[in-house]
């Protein structure tokens, strides 16, 4: 299951990369990046998954003493939380940029913003 999830995660990353490289529309590029981000998150979570164990939350079913045998690795989950939020921050920023760029030239085609070069 973890393999499948991880493979899907990698596939999503590649699909996202491909989209970001081939779509000239700014918004579509950003969409592609969110897909790649989701892919990364899946990969990270999948790495921490351990067959037959439960979420790293202690409650009536998982006591503190038995935790070591019962729960999955909590670290990747903590990292993913951070990664998701950071991803949103960057996406929001890129969207604001896209809006600003559109405001200037009334186009979303990235190939039109090439004044700086060389």
Partner 1 sequence: MSHLLPWLTALLCFTMVVAALVAIRGKSTPIAILAAGLVSLVASVLFLILASPDVAMTEAAIGSGLTTFLFFFVLGRVRRGDHG
Partner 2 sequence: MNALYLIAIGLGTAFLLGLLNEQRRDLAYTLTLGALTMMSAISASWLVVFVATGAGAVDIFTAGTRPPFAINLRMGLTEATLTLLINLTGLFAAIHMGEVLLAKGRRAMAVLLIAIMALCGIVLTRDIFNLFVFFELIVIATGGLVLLSDDEHAVSAGFKYLIVSQFISILLLIGIIFGYHATGTLNIDGMAAIGAGGFALAFFLIFIAIVAELKPFPANGWALDIYESAHPGFSAVFSAATGSAALFALDKILAIGGPAWYPVATAIGIVTFVGANLLALPQTNDRRLLGYSSIAQTGLILTVIGQQDILGNQYLFIAGGLLFAHAVAKAGLFWLSDFVAQRELTAWASLKERPLLVFAFVTFAAMLSGLPPFPGFYAKWELVHALAAADRLALLGWILFGALVEAGYLFRWFGYLIKRESDEKVACTAPQVIPVAAAVLAGWALGFVWGDLSGRSNLLLVLPLLFALGFLLIEWAPAWAKNLLAIGGLSFYLLQTWQDYDPLRLIFLVIFTLGGAIIFLASFHAHGRRIGFYPSAMLMFAGLVLLIQATDSFGFFAAWELLTVGSYFLILRGKESEPHALSYIVFSLGGAFLILTAFALANAVSPAPTFEIAALATLAQPVAPWVFLLLALGFMTKTAAIGLHIWLPGAHAEAETDVSPMVSGILLKAGLYGLFVLLMSMGRQSLYGVDLVNMLLWIGALTALLGNLMAIFQEDAKRLLAYSSIGQMGYALFGLALMNHLGWLMALMFVINHYVYKSMLFLSVGGVAKRTGTRAMYRMGGLITLMPLSFIATLIGIIAMSGVPPLSGFGGRWIFYNAIMDAETRLPMVLIFLSGPIAFLYLFRLIHTIFLGQLKDEHRRIKEAPASIVLPQMIYVAILMGVALFPGLILRRVDAYISQFLPDGALNWDGLTITSQYGWWNPVAIMIVVACIFLLIFGWLLFVNRKAQKVKQFNIVFSAERPYRPETTHFAWNFFAPYKKAMGFLVQPFVTRFWGAVTDLLHTAGDLGRRLYNGNGQIYAFHFLAFVVVVFAFKAGL
Partner 3 sequence: MVKRLIALALLAVFGAVFATLLLGYTPDSELNLTARYYAERTAAELGAANIVTAIVVTYRGLDTLGEVTVLFLAAAIVGLVLANSRPGQARERAPVGELLTTGTRFLVPMILLLGVYVFVNGHLTPGGGFQGGAIIASAVLLMLLANPLRHFSHNLIAAIESLAGLFYVTLGLAGLFLAGGFLDNRILPLGNLGELISAGAIPVIYSLIGLKVGAEFSSMLASLAETEEL
2 near partner 2 (CB under 8 A): no
- Determine if 88 is a binding residue for partner 2 (CB under 8 A): no
Least Å distance between CB 58 and partner 1? 13
Binding status of residue 17 toward partner 2 by CB under 8 A: yes
User: Which residues face 71 on adjacent strands?
Assistant: 54
* CA–CA–CA angle 117, 94, 22 (5° rounding): 65
The least distance separating partner 1 from the CB of residue 118, rounded to whole angstroms, comes to 29
The single residue among 63, 66, 75, 85 that binds partner 1, judged by CB under 8 A, is 85
Candidates 70, 74, 66; CA nearest to 47 is 74
Name the residue with tokens 């164990």.
Answer: 53
Q: Does 62 participate in binding partner 2 (rule CB under 8 A)?
A: no
- Report yes or no: 95 and 12 within 8 Å, Cβ to Cβ: no
Please, what is the minimum distance in Å from the beta carbon of residue 117 to partner 3?
17
| Backbone φ, ψ for residue 73 (5° rounding) | -60, 120
Count of chain residues binding partner 1 (CB under 8 A): 52
């Amino acid at each position: 299951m973890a393999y499948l999830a991880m493979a899907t995660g990698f596939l999503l990353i590649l699909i996202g990369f491909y989209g970001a490289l081939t779509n000239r529309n700014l918004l579509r590029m950003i969409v592609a990046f969110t897909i790649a981000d989701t892919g990364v998150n899946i990969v990270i979570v999948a790495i921490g998954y351990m067959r037959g164990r439960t979420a790293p939350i202690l409650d009536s079913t998982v006591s503190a003493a038995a935790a070591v045998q019962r729960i999955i690795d909590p670290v990747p989950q903590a990292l993913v939380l951070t990664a998701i939020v950071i991803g949103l921050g960057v996406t929001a920023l890129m969207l604001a940029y896209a809006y600003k760029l559109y405001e200037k030239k009334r186009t979303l085609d990235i190939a039109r913003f090439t004044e700086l070069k060389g």
